[in-house]
Structures are given as structure tokens and as C-alpha cells.
Amino acid sequence: MTPDFLSPWTGLARTVCSRYSVVLEQVLALIWQESAGNPRAYRFEQGFWAQYLDGRAEWTRGLTGAALESWIERCSASYGLMQIMFPTACDHGLSPSAEPEFLFQPSMCLDYGIRHWKLCLTRAGGNVRDGFLRWNGGGRMAYADEAFDKLATLTAPPAGGTA
């Protein structure tokens, strides 16, 4: 059963999933887990810059001082329905000269997010739970279990019915 808050995104997600040969319910489980269907969801990922981007000139845009600090916060955040990070979207074809807030657009967030989900799933050998773990940076099995439980809810037959 699909929660009502996912309904506005199901059609668009279905279209993008079809484009990349990805299972819709897996993506809906990620949207549920990451943003509960909020296209304006935003989360600053403390420590991301220092761990992955600091010292890489291609990511500083030549900025200094307060402008650089603002950019670091914008570049080190998860955006939109799938909480995709700007550098991750760039890895999947988004121009590094784009603005990170571009990912608040549901169509763009889903496009780059689903591309990344397909990569996570491929690297996990098709194992969905491991794909969820990779989506979350490999950090918490509890995250993968929570997302997997959401997927089970989405794919469960209706109560009193048969599949």
C-alpha cells in the first residue's frame, strides 16, 4: 500500500524508473525513507566537505571567505525527494556549474537520484537491502533495514486480498 504523501510523485517516478529500468517500489521506498515525500527536504551533511571535497579546486569555484563557507554548506547537503547530494548528481551528469538547489525540482531530483539508485543496486549485485546500505554511504544497517521495511509495506498485498 502506498502512503498518500507519495501519491503526488508516483507518476513522475514511474516514468523515470521506466527510463532507467528501475523498480518503482524501490524508489518510492527511498523517497519515503529520505524525505517522506517532501520535495523541499534539505539536510546539511556535516563533515562531507572535509571528507570528500576539501582541497579539490574544481569544487571551490574560486570562492573565498563567506562566499566559500556558503558554497560548502550548499554543496555538502542532500536535496529534495531522494535527498541526492549535488556532487553525486554531478557524478551522474549534472553540470558542476549548476546550482545545487536545482535538485529541489522533483523531476531533476528523481532523474539523478534514480540514476544513482541504479548504480547502488548494480554495485550491490542486485541485492536491494545492500543497495539501500550503499545509498546511505554504507554506514548504517539500521537505515537499510528501515528502507527495506518500507519496501515490504509498498509491495504487500492489500489486506484481505490476494496478490
Q: What is the pLDDT of residue 158?
A: 77
Q: What is the pLDDT of residue 1?
A: 76
Q: What is the pLDDT of residue 49?
A: 92
Domain extent listing, the chain: 4-155
Can you give the three-state secondary structure of the chain, one letter per residue? CCCHHHHHHHHHHHHHHHHHCCCHHHHHHHHHHHHCCCCCCEEECCCHHHHHHCCCHHHHCCCCHHHHHHHHHHHCEEECCCCEEHHHHHHCCCCCCCCHHHHHCHHHHHHHHHHHHHHHHHHCCCCHHHHHHHHCCCCCHHHHHHHHHHHHHHHCCCCCCCC
Cα–Cα–Cα angle for 123, 57, 46, nearest 5°? Answer: 60
> Do residues 92 and 112 lie in contact, with contact meaning Cβ atoms separated by under 8 Å?
yes
Distance between start and end Cα atoms, the chain: 12
Q: How crowded is residue 140: how many other Cβ atoms within 10 Å of its Cβ?
A: 12
pTM attached to this predicted model: 0.91
pLDDT per residue rounded down to tens, the chain (163 residues) = 789 999 999 999 999 999 999 999 999 999 999 999 999 999 999 889 999 899 888 899 999 999 999 999 999 999 999 999 999 999 999 999 999 999 999 999 999 999 999 999 999 999 999 999 999 876 778 999 999 999 999 999 877 655 5
For 84, phi then psi, to 5°, come to: -80, 145
What grid cell was written down for 4? 498518500
Q: What is the pLDDT of residue 161?
A: 57
In CATH, 4-155 is 3.30.565.10: no
